[in-house]
Amino acid sequence: MIVFAKPLGLRAQWAGLLLALTMLGMALAVSLALMRAHLLRVEEARLAAQASTIEANLQRQLQGVNAALAAVAHDLKGLGHRPDVPAALTRQLEALSEAMPGVRTMLVLDAAGRVLASTRADLIGQDLSEREYVQVAAQSLSPDELYLSSPFRTVFGLFTMVLVRVVHDEHGKTHRIVAASLAPDFSRCCWHRCCTTMTSGRRWHTRTGC
């Protein structure tokens, strides 16, 4: 005798369809979650690689500027108490500034903040004593430290940060200040990578003094 299965009721059919759709939805959700996690890992790895490249490039640029400032400071130390800055040193500032794309201006100041030499002639003779980096350099910076100022607007209205080293006299007091004003792109990069939490400048000890 042949027995035919009773057809499922309409309610049971809808329940089966809903169950199938629910399982399909859960499978799609899991698949999308796995795909999203994979994409996040790929993007994180890409951003980490980019950040590492930027950091390494920034470090090389900072080391280059520091070496240039140290060279100028060394030459200034050899001048003793000479009140002026020889033309040859000004030409050296110009050559160093041109060789470093991240540097906008290089200058030499006395301990009172008066500009003695600069790659911009219109800065020579100006009083920059109110600048934070000048005050730090004059009061508490040692010759084996590199100081990075907090961001500010220059007398020309441009956004910048300044790297500074000093030359001390025989009494251990600041005699000359050597500074490099950073180009806006370099300044922004430096600010975001190194200094986003600082409210004032930042200093590093260097391996060799001036």
95-127 pLDDT, tens per residue?
998 888 788 899 999 999 999 999 998 899 999
DSSP string covering 129-194, please? Answer: TTSHHHHHHHHT--TTEEEEPPPEE-TTS-EE-EEEEEEE-TTS-EEEEEEEEEPHHHHHHHHHHH
Beta partners for 74?
A: none
- Residue 174 domain flag: yes
- 169, 141 in Cβ contact below 8 A? no
Query: What DSSP designation does 95 have?
Result: H
Q: What is the pTM of this model?
A: 0.66
Range of the domain at 115: 45-205
Q: What is the CA radius of gyration of the chain?
A: 31
- 134, 176 in Cβ contact below 8 A? no
Query: For 35-64, what is the mean pLDDT?
Result: 80
Q: What is the CATH number for 157?
A: 3.30.450.20
- Residue 18 domain flag: no
